């Protein structure tokens, strides 16, 4: 197999060069268009890799040997079918070369019949013998079919090639080597070339089958591919996409996998089953209607205080215990504005005292605890002390939908061991519901409890549901 790469400014120029250099039997293996930054660094815009078998290339070489450049230009501008037929006819009608060419090793050597003693080899006698006057060797004229294409009689002119009058010393040294050894080396090289050609053909066959199989598989699973592209555009994590694809392949037929709508509907149904939600502790039916404690934990600005006020307005007989962290403890305005009982505390000991007092009064308690320090142990100790003293205790982490996915993952990882649920705030301003699903799956599917949908107290709050996220995801 003879393989070459050609470059040019246009596809037509490169194909014409391929046709001229390799002939009409050339096979186009690869076509590359240099664009963008890589194209700017390249001198040529089009690159074509073509190949031709050794047999076809040798046939073409025989025709090229009898044509000059002008005749080649005219000849290879003809249709490929006519060029192919002419090359084949010329190769078939050209007599096979005999002998050893201009080395004159095919001359017969006369040996005296009377010489019997000190007899030397025929080759030595030939090398010692002075060559006779040699006749000029004439190159074979092209066939009539080739003349029809190139026109005129110029191609029929014979070119004389004079044989050398004496054999060079290098040729004599080569000729004295054992002929059998040279033939063995030549045969070994031929076998090696045949083996390499076979390996190349097998490799090309494997690549062809691989591409064919991939294209067929892509057609059979078109719905899976469309689902992956859609979910990536919605910022879904690759782990979630892999999980949905795996479930689709396990539950859908091969025919359904090729339909994008069927695969997408199945993925939404599976997502619906993966998203976990639960009601808040205040809504659960227990023997003790009051005396329940919900601790809201957050870091940074996540709308936690407004969420505490919304919850206190939904459920009756509630008291809000808020950490002031050294700020003003005046809560009279908030109490009058939202008709909420609020106690401001600055330390954990004050918070524990206020919680005990409200619990003795049989009130439902909402603790607004924002961890402004980098220590997680302090929050952990606070939650553990409450869990030892009170049975009806629930810890909720407040996240904001406008925060980045990385930040929300980090916060969940810090407090994961203490959490019973998650509250998502600012859902009305969310730009990536796929990121919310990624955070939910990364947290080990800690149940979502409430969604905050605005800043108005107490209206902008709703119970968490998978339908709300999926509906927003599809509308987006």
How far apart, in whole angstroms, are the C-alpha atoms of residue 70 and residue 77?
11
More confident residue, 205 or 44: 205
pLDDT score for 457: 85
Mean of the per-residue pLDDT values of the chain: 77
How far apart, in whole angstroms, are the C-alpha atoms of residue 404 and residue 412?
13
**What DSSP character marks residue 80?**
H
Kindly report, residue by residue over 61-104, the tens digit of the pLDDT: 888 887 888 887 788 778 877 887 787 777 666 554 444 444 44
How far apart, in whole angstroms, are the C-alpha atoms of residue 365 and residue 355?
7
Written as six digits, the tokens of 66 are: 């009898």
- For the chain, percent of residues with pLDDT exceeding 90: 24
User: Quick check: 317 pLDDT over 70?
Assistant: yes
Q: Considering the domain boundaries, does residue 400 fall inside one?
A: yes
Residue 476: band (very low, low, confident or very high) from pLDDT cuts 50, 70, 90: low
Domain final residue pick, 256, 274, 292 = 274
More confident residue, 99 or 218: 218
Residues 373, 406, single domain; the answer is: yes
Q: Considering the domain boundaries, does residue 387 fall inside one?
A: yes
Residue with tokens 């062809």: 208
How far apart, in whole angstroms, are the C-alpha atoms of residue 282 and residue 296?
13
User: Quick check: 201 pLDDT over 50?
Assistant: yes
Q: Considering the domain boundaries, does residue 178 fall inside one?
A: no
Residue 448: band (very low, low, confident or very high) from pLDDT cuts 50, 70, 90: very high
pLDDT score for 110: 46
How far apart, in whole angstroms, are the C-alpha atoms of residue 236 and residue 250?
21
Q: Considering the domain boundaries, does residue 25 fall inside one?
A: no
pLDDT score for 242: 92
Kindly report, residue by residue over 125-157, the tens digit of the pLDDT: 544 555 444 454 444 455 444 555 455 444 444
Residues 388, 460, single domain; the answer is: yes
How far apart, in whole angstroms, are the C-alpha atoms of residue 243 and residue 359?
45
More confident residue, 157 or 331: 331
Residues 6+ apart with CB under 8 A from 90: 59, 62, 63, 142, 143, 145, 146
Residues 288, 255, single domain; the answer is: no
366 contacts 321 by C-beta, under 8 angstroms: yes
Kindly report, residue by residue over 337-396, the tens digit of the pLDDT: 777 888 888 888 899 999 999 998 989 999 998 887 766 778 888 888 898 888 889 999
Residues 330, 407, single domain; the answer is: yes
Pairing of strands 448-452, 421-425: parallel
pLDDT score for 43: 64
Q: Considering the domain boundaries, does residue 239 fall inside one?
A: yes
The count of C-alpha atoms lying within 13 angstroms of the C-alpha of 258, restricted to the half-sphere facing its C-beta, is 8
Residues 316, 406, single domain; the answer is: yes
Q: Considering the domain boundaries, does residue 104 fall inside one?
A: no
* Number of folded domains that form the chain: 2
- Give the 3-state secondary structure of residue 447: coil
Q: Considering the domain boundaries, does residue 370 fall inside one?
A: yes
Nearest one of 217, 373, 196 to 300, comparing CA atoms: 373
pTM for the structure as a whole: 0.53
User: Quick check: 432 pLDDT over 60?
Assistant: yes
Once rounded to an integer, what is the mean pLDDT over residues 258-264? Answer: 89
How far apart, in whole angstroms, are the C-alpha atoms of residue 86 and residue 83?
5
Nearest one of 173, 184, 161 to 65, comparing CA atoms: 161
Once rounded to an integer, what is the mean pLDDT over residues 426-441? Answer: 92
Once rounded to an integer, what is the mean pLDDT over residues 174-196? Answer: 67
Residues 227, 348, single domain; the answer is: no
Domain final residue pick, 243, 274, 305 = 274
Residues 344, 392, single domain; the answer is: yes
pLDDT score for 160: 43
Angle at 111 (CA atoms; ends 105, 114), nearest 5 degrees:
170
297 contacts 305 by C-beta, under 8 angstroms: no
Residues 354, 457, single domain; the answer is: yes
Kindly report, residue by residue over 411-421, the tens digit of the pLDDT: 999 889 889 99
How far apart, in whole angstroms, are the C-alpha atoms of residue 198 and residue 476?
56
- Give the 3-state secondary structure of residue 459: coil
Nearest one of 451, 446, 443 to 424, comparing CA atoms: 451
Residues 6+ apart with CB under 8 A from 337: none
How far apart, in whole angstroms, are the C-alpha atoms of residue 453 and residue 401?
10
> For 337-343, which contacts have Cβ atoms below 8 Å and span 24 or more sequence positions?
338/309, 338/312, 338/313, 338/457, 338/458, 339/313, 340/309, 340/312, 340/313, 341/312, 343/319
| Residue 171: count of CB within 10 angstroms of its CB | 14
Residue with tokens 């402004």: 372
- Give the 3-state secondary structure of residue 160: strand
Once rounded to an integer, what is the mean pLDDT over residues 288-311? Answer: 85
pLDDT score for 15: 84
Once rounded to an integer, what is the mean pLDDT over residues 36-45? Answer: 59
Residue 315: band (very low, low, confident or very high) from pLDDT cuts 50, 70, 90: confident
Residues 249, 303, single domain; the answer is: no
Residues 303, 366, single domain; the answer is: yes
Most confident of 111-120, 187-196, 399-408: 399-408
Residues 379, 465, single domain; the answer is: yes
Domain final residue pick, 244, 274, 304 = 274
Q: Considering the domain boundaries, does residue 304 fall inside one?
A: yes
175 contacts 123 by C-beta, under 8 angstroms: yes
Domain that includes residue 296, residue range: 281-475
The count of C-alpha atoms lying within 13 angstroms of the C-alpha of 335, restricted to the half-sphere facing its C-beta, is 13
Once rounded to an integer, what is the mean pLDDT over residues 249-270? Answer: 90
How far apart, in whole angstroms, are the C-alpha atoms of residue 59 and residue 212?
33
- Give the 3-state secondary structure of residue 51: strand
Written as six digits, the tokens of 304 are: 């936690």
pLDDT score for 108: 47
More confident residue, 58 or 187: 58
User: Quick check: 167 pLDDT over 70?
Assistant: no
Residues 250, 354, single domain; the answer is: no
Q: Which residues pair with 46 in a beta bridge?
A: 8, 33
- Give the 3-state secondary structure of residue 395: strand
Once rounded to an integer, what is the mean pLDDT over residues 201-222? Answer: 67
- For the chain, percent of residues with pLDDT exceeding 70: 71
How far apart, in whole angstroms, are the C-alpha atoms of residue 113 and residue 230?
95
Provide the CATH number for the domain around residue 462.
3.40.50.300
């Amino acid at each position: 197999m003879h393989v070459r790469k050609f470059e040019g400014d246009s596809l037509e120029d490169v194909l014409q060069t391929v046709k001229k250099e390799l002939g009409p039997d050339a096979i186009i293996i690869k076509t590359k268009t240099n664009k963008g930054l890589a194209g700017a660094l390249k001198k040529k815009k089009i690159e074509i890799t073509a190949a031709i078998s050794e047999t076809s290339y040798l046939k073409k070489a025989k025709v090229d040997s009898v044509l000059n450049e002008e005749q080649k230009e005219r000849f290879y501008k003809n249709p490929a079918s006519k060029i192919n037929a002419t090359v084949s006819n010329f190769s078939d009608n050209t007599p096979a070369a005999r002998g050893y060419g201009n080395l004159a090793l095919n001359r017969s050597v006369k040996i005296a019949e009377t010489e019997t003693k000190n007899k030397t080899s025929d080759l030595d006698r030939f090398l010692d013998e002075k060559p006779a006057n040699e006749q000029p060797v004439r190159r074979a004229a092209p066939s009539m079919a080739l003349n029809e294409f190139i026109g005129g009689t110029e191609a029929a002119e014979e070119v004389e090639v004079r044989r050398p009058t004496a054999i060079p010393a290098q040729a004599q040294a080569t000729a004295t080597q054992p002929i059998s050894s040279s033939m063995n080396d030549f045969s070994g090289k031929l076998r090696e070339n045949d083996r390499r050609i076979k390996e190349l053909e097998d490799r090309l066959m494997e690549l062809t089958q691989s591409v064919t199989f991939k294209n067929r598989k892509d057609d059979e699973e078109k719905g899976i591919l469309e689902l992956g592209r859609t979910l990536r555009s919605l910022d879904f994590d690759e782990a979630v996409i892999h999980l949905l694809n795996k479930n689709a392949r396990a539950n859908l037929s091969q025919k359904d996998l090729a339909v994008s709508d069927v695969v997408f509907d199945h993925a939404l149904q599976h997502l619906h089953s993966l998203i976990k939600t639960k009601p808040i502790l205040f809504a659960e039916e227990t023997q003790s209607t009051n005396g329940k404690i919900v601790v809201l934990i957050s870091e940074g600005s996540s709308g936690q205080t407004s969420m505490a006020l919304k919850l206190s307005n939904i459920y009756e007989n509630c008291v809000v215990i808020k950490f002031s962290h050294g700020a003003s403890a005046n809560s009279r305005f908030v109490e009058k504005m939202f008709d909420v009982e609020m106690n401001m505390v600055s330390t954990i000991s004050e918070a524990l005292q206020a919680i005990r007092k409200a619990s003795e009064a049989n009130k439902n308690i909402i603790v607004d605890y924002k961890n402004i320090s980098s220590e997680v142990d302090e929050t952990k100790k606070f939650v553990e002390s409450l869990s030892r003293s009170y049975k009806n205790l629930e810890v909720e982490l407040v996240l904001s939908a406008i925060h980045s996915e990385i930040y929300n993952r980090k916060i969940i990882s810090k407090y994961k061991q203490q959490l019973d649920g998650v509250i998502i705030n600012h859902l009305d301003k969310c730009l990536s519901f796929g990121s919310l699903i990624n955070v939910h799956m990364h947290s080990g599917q800690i149940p979502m409890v409430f969604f905050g949908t605005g800043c108005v107290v107490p209206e902008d709050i709703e119970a968490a549901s998978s339908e709300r996220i999926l509906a927003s995801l599809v509308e987006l």
